[in-house]
Chains A and B, each alone.
Chain A
Amino acid sequence: MADGAIPAVAVTGAVKRYGAREVVSNVSLNLAAGESLALLGHNGAGKTTLIKLMLGITRGDAGEIRIRGVRPDKRAFAGLRRRVGFLPENVVFHDTMTGRETLSFYARLKGEPATAVDALLDRVGLGEARERRVRTYSKGMRQRLGLAQALLGDPVVLFLDEPTTGLDPALRRRFYEIIAERQSLGTAVLLSSHALGEVEARIDRMAIMKNGRLVACGTLDELRRATARPVRVRVSVVPGKARAVVDGLGGGGEIRTVDDTVVELDCAQRDKMRVLHRLAGLDGLVRDIDIAPPGIEEIYVHFTEGAGPR
């Protein structure tokens, strides 16, 4: 975390209203250089509006947003804008231009040399298709061209709105590789997503939005603890010994006998080690143990459908 003193993105009490409707309500979050954050939430939760606020395209009604210490809706931000990358949701380009012309156009707007264009096209795997018109591109190719333009100008912050929709698994992996590469160079990455499973292992922190409010923000572990969701322990037992295992556990959570070879137990996070000790003591009865902490889906559902704000 270089530049630790100034966060790459600092949002404090941001509010945005469209008429009487509050689309972003008192949202605060920070993002350090080299860090990644996934913005999760249903459609209409305010993710895109929050990104527009951070880009300075829309002006907020209250609160303060700073990108590298500069407010993005101010004139002073113009210089820093060259170092901000943005990939809008469902990115659209002009059909009559080739991939290369498109990227050259955006490179000129950012004051980037033309030499950067070919290298970037190769990097996202569009080297072969560079002279073809965008009209002929598949959804995945357009999305890659979108990523390429976002990477122009050695960005200090990347805003990616639903970046992996329409990408097949291989492209998706390549996509996250490139993002990880940028992170290692100190770029702060903020991406919004529906695809919970894919961000789980690849993103440092998650922020969950609901009706314009930020209902949770933290690492997966932090969120997991905050939900107080039980850990599910699945025990494979020697056939016919299920009863004995249940007795041996002696309570400590909700225990179910699935069949005569499997016993399931939901226990609180803090009780987990005690339960495992007991199971270890039941030598000869237990064949295998699976421990499933609550997944991101479960955490997401907890925050978006459950209690509401912290």
Chain B
Amino acid sequence: MKILLTLAGKEIRDGLRNRWIAGAVVVLAGLALTLAFLGSTPVGTVKASPLSISVASLSSLTVYLMPLIALILAYDALVGEIERGTMLLLLAYPVARWQVIAGKFIGHAAILVLAVVLGYGIAGAVVVTAAGGDTRDLGAYLAMVANSALLGAAFVALGYLVSALTRERSAAAGVALGLWVFMVVLYDLALLGVLVADKGQTIDQRLFVGLLLASPTDAYRIVSLVGSDAVAAVGGLAGIATRVGLGPGLPLAVMAAWVVLPLGAAMAVFQKKEL
């Protein structure tokens, strides 16, 4: 445990020193505030609470931004250290290879949590203050923040898998970018395309929800939306899932699996890797 905390602590300090955390907080808070104030205009006097509107707009932003931030943080975690030569020395120490990954994961996950909590926390506080202390749907907002961190953790784990599989940093960056495009953009597009082509013949609602759930980003959308009825109405594709009567349990389990499985795979690949 001491080894893991030492490794994690180093990553966190690195994140603070190279302004990574500060940068991520500014980006997240800035975008959240922009969305909150752009989004508040058309709401006018509709009964939806300002926080629930924020949840809807923020979660549709987070679903793109968070995976990108997490992958940038993680893609060179292993291959970068191997390329720079710091990994060789680390492995000469009494540190098992799985511990290298686990320690980094704790550190990087903490960095993301810190960035999300600070960034969205600041934005949330501003929104509540601007609405004259209207704290309706605070629970949904907090759940969205936690859920966003979980989404980040899943993509950190995926980033490690990319990092363990590639031999060069530049290749890892390319693969990570491709992964982001596929998971965040193409998967949903492909799903829509199949749905349109199929015209409801073989893909029933149950299978469709299953395919949606298979993706961590859609699982994230579903979890964020089921928290609030007002949000579900504006939730797009994933809104369908909430209408099927899906609770947050299953999509959360899917997201947890997207953390654990890539992490385990990264450990297995790294264990066999020739340095």
A residues whose Cβ falls under 8 Å from a Cβ of B: 18, 52, 55, 57-58, 78-79, 81-82, 84, 86, 88, 90-94, 96-97, 101, 105-106, 108-111, 149, 159
| Contact (Cβ within 8 A) A109 B6 | yes
If A96-B18, A108-B6, A109-B3 touch, whether A84 touches B92 (CB-CB below 8 Å) is: yes
B89 is an interface residue with CB less than 8 A from chain A: yes
| Contact (Cβ within 8 A) B6 A78 | no
Interchain CA distance A88-B87 in the complex, whole Å:
10
Tell which of A78, A91, A96 touches B14, judged by Cβ atoms closer than 8 Å: A96
Q: A96-B14, A96-B17, A105-B10 are in contact. List 14 more A-B contacts (CB 8 A).
A: A57-B275, A58-B275, A79-B94, A81-B92, A81-B93, A88-B85, A88-B89, A91-B85, A92-B85, A92-B86, A108-B6, A109-B90, A109-B94, A109-B95
Interchain CA distance A78-B2 in the complex, whole Å:
15
B residues whose Cβ falls under 8 Å from a Cβ of A: 2-3, 6-7, 10, 13-14, 17-18, 84-86, 88-96, 274-275
4 nearest CB pairs, A to B: A96-B17, A86-B92, A81-B94, A108-B6
Interchain CA distance A240-B88 in the complex, whole Å:
64
| Contact (Cβ within 8 A) B6 A57 | no
If A82-B94, A108-B6 touch, whether A91 touches B13 (CB-CB below 8 Å) is: no
Interchain CA distance A257-B6 in the complex, whole Å:
70
CB proximity of A33 to chain B, nearest CB, Å: 20
Secondary structure class of chain B's binding surface, majority of residues: helix
Residues of B within 8 A of A94 (CB): 10, 14, 86
If A18-B274, A82-B94 touch, whether A91 touches B10 (CB-CB below 8 Å) is: no
Residues of A within 8 A of B93 (CB): 81, 106, 109-110
> Inter-chain contact count A-B, CB under 8 Å?
62
CB proximity of A125 to chain B, nearest CB, Å: 21
CB proximity of A15 to chain B, nearest CB, Å: 15
- A86: nearest chain-B partner, CB-CB: B92
| Contact (Cβ within 8 A) B14 A93 | no
- B86: nearest chain-A partner, CB-CB: A92
| Contact (Cβ within 8 A) A108 B2 | yes
Interchain CA distance A110-B10 in the complex, whole Å:
15
Interchain CA distance A91-B88 in the complex, whole Å:
9
- B89: nearest chain-A partner, CB-CB: A88
CB proximity of B268 to chain A, nearest CB, Å: 16
Residues of B within 8 A of A81 (CB): 92-94
Question: Which of A55, A57, A101, A111 has the most chain B CB atoms closer than 10 A to its own CB?
Answer: A57
Interchain CA distance A111-B93 in the complex, whole Å:
10
If A57-B275, A58-B274 touch, whether A93 touches B92 (CB-CB below 8 Å) is: no
Residues of A within 8 A of B88 (CB): 52, 57, 88
Interchain CA distance A92-B14 in the complex, whole Å:
15
| Contact (Cβ within 8 A) B92 A91 | no
Question: Which of B3, B7, B91 has the most chain A CB atoms closer than 10 A to its own CB?
Answer: B91
Interchain CA distance A58-B84 in the complex, whole Å:
18
Tell which of A96, A110, A159 touches B94, judged by Cβ atoms closer than 8 Å: A110
Residues of A within 8 A of B14 (CB): 94, 96-97
